[in-house]
Amino acid sequence: MDAGRQLLRHTVATLAYRGGKVLREAPDGFGGFKVAESTRTPLAILAHINDLLDWAFHITQGRQVWNDSTPDRWEREIDRFFASLKRFDDVLASDQSLEFASERLFQGPIADALTHVGQIGMLRRIAGSPVRGENYFKANITAGCVGNDQPAPRREFD
């Protein structure tokens, strides 16, 4: 496996780890939290992240398919997040030829998804349910570990 593809797999695992952290134990009703009339809710942001992951998968198949999905329930979108990460990572782990360079997959859908995970984290803090920061350099993040069963944090901040 080439270095770009290996780094992309590690990035997808990082997205699963960080995404899982901001999605887990969100308070009831958080998905509908709104800072202002013109902002997206966490649920809408999560659905958008899932659309990005679906787009990333389709790109690996040589197709530019975009879907603006209607957000489902919070729990269903969380399940979709991890299922979409798994489907994408399975392609990256295979010997299937990617139709585009790993760098382009990173710069488009994956970097955008990371940005939106940060937005959900920020909204958790504004909503009064902050996620504890941590030293992500020390986190146990491994390529291929993209499910909801992420390792426990190694060094969270007080």
Query: Which position has the higher pLDDT, 158 or 151?
Result: 151
Is a pLDDT exceeding 80 seen at residue 45?
A: yes
Give residue 13's pLDDT band: very low, low, confident or very high (50, 70, 90): very high
Domain-by-domain residue ranges, the chain?
Answer: 3-138
Class of domain 3-138: mainly alpha
pTM: 0.95
User: Which residues does residue 134 pair with via DSSP β-bridges, in sequence order?
Assistant: 156
At 99 the pLDDT is: 86
